[in-house]
Structures are given as C-alpha cells and as structure tokens.
Amino acid sequence: MDPDTILECRIIGKFRLDGLKLTNPVAVGDRVLVEPDAELGSGVIRQIQPRQNYVVRQSPRRKHDLHLLASNIDQAVVVVTIVHPNLKQGFIDRFLLMTEPYDIPVTVVFNKCDLYEAHDMEMFEYIKSIYVSIGYQVLLASATHSDGLDDLRMLLKDKTTLVSGQSGVGKSTLINAIQPQLDLRTGEISDYSGKGQHTTTFAQMYNLDFGGAIIDTPGIKTLAFNHLEPMDVAHNFREFFALSDDCRFGGKCLHRNEPGCAVKAAIAEGQVSELRYANYLTIIEEIEDINYWERNNQY
C-alpha cells in the first residue's frame, strides 16, 4: 500500500493503556497493524504497536477518563504569549507536568513578540530565566513579523513535534508562517472576553517540507490531573525532585509543611522559583480536593 494512502479504519476489540481508561484508544502518532478490506475500501485496526512515549490529559468532558493526545513524539512545543491574551504562567507548568513523566523535551515559544512593550519584555526575560535555569528551551517569536521563525524551523527539522497552547496564542498562525501551504484555520481574539476562539477541533499530523512533522492539537482551555497522586506531581517538578534527596523525608516529602525540606529552603534562598512553587501547591490542592470528594461520594 502506498504510504501516502489514507485508509478509513475501525477498531476491533478494546485497547487499554497501562490500565488507564481512555476516551480514545488510538492517537495521532500511533503505529498500528491494519487489515485492509478491499471490498469496503476501509480497514480494521488489529494491533497498536508498543509506544515510545505518549501524552495524556484529563478528558475535558469526562473527568474520570483520560484523553490520549499523541504518541511517539520526539519533542513538544507549547506556544504562549505575554499579551493578547495575557500570559497564564500556570498553564506552562501544567503542560510540563503532562510531558515530564515521559521525559519528552519541551520548548516554550513566546509568540506575538511584536506586541510586547518594554515591561512585557521584562516579564518575558524573567519567565525565560525560570525555565532556562531548569533545563527547558525558550524561544521568542512573531508569526506576523517573522521573528524567530528560522530558530523554530531548526528546532522542528527532522523531528516529530507535538505543538500545543491555549486558544488565542497564535499557534495556527505560527505554524502557517513556518509552513504556508498548510493554510491552517486561524481565529481572532474576542473583544469582549479577551480570550481566543477555538479553531482546531482534533489533533492532526502534518509533514514539513524541510523534514519532520508536527502534531497540531486543539487549543487547550485548562489542564487538570485527577489521574495523578500528589507525589506524582512532586516527582515531576524536575527541580523539586532534584532537591528531594536532601529533604529530611527524601522522596516522600511533599515540600509543604514537612520539617527539613530542601525545596522550601531553596525557595527562601531564591534558588527555586516562587511562581513555580505556587503553581505546584495549587495543583496538589486540586488533586487532594478531587480525591477527597470522590472518597466521600461513593455509593
């Protein structure tokens, strides 16, 4: 079969992922074994090949299930902006919590830099310093002014990259600027709410003419983690995990009120970001609230 052939397929049987309940058993990036049906002009997925890695999120519609975003990726790019709409820095940390368990390299791309005023650039430099110091790459770009596009092309070349971000940050416009023939649909910022309008409705892979491929995902409103335990969060904020051996309770420290916590000592000394720590606490509290509610509302 020609590798460029598109074959509509259905799934036979139930597929699970490490015992997790999924809304979609197959994701963009999966390699599958297909049995073609020449008469119907379609096929049947008989087997999903072992995944190199995958990215899951809590389903936005069914909170007890997980949505498989993509699999077998080399890296991820999360697109954000300081303004239009205003930066939600907590979203960056939530995105990193989604990719960190699978050791997926992430680059944070700050788009729309042509709109940044002096104080916006100061904010960018401050946020950049936080993530560069813990090993993430940060790029500055403008889809409309072509700033940073060469660096982004070099990053994407010959790799399979998951590209994501909240609605309105200019993700599709940025992809179109890199690969114009894709002509992805773009949306405007609502004058009333200041928020982006959803334009992508499902994840899709596109080949790049300079090598590699991108997986474009729907604009994400928020990320929640009811499938994680608090300790999972502690282990996947990488700078916290690196310090945990020095905590009195080692890998069992949640870095809140425990005595002898190396993370809290590092925060007090300015070695660990207070912003990251505040976001960490918020996520931990959300998970504990969900677990408490579920334990007390079982029938």
Show the domains of the chain with their CATH numbers.
9-48 (no CATH), 54-216 (3.40.50.300), 230-295 (1.10.40.50)
Instruction: Tell which residue, 276, 270, 226, has the closest CA to residue 93.
Output: 276
Q: Give the strands of the sheet with 137-140, arranged side by side.
A: 137-140, 106-110, 75-80, 160-165, 213-216, 204-207
pLDDT at 190 over 50: no
The pLDDT of 243-258, averaged and rounded, is 96
pLDDT at 65 over 90: no
Please, are residues 205 and 162 in contact by the beta-carbon 8 Å criterion?
no
Please, are residues 215 and 162 in contact by the beta-carbon 8 Å criterion?
yes
Hey, what are 18's tokens?
A: 């490490």
Q: Which tops the pLDDT comparison, 12 or 207? A: 207
Confidence at residue 2, expressed as pLDDT on a 0 to 100 scale: 63
The pLDDT of 292-296, averaged and rounded, is 61
Whole-prediction pTM: 0.89
CA 68 to each of CA 10, 33, 64, 142, 188: distance values in angstroms, whole numbers, following the listed order: 17, 19, 13, 30, 27
pLDDT at 106 over 50: yes
- Tokens 């963009």: give the residue: 28
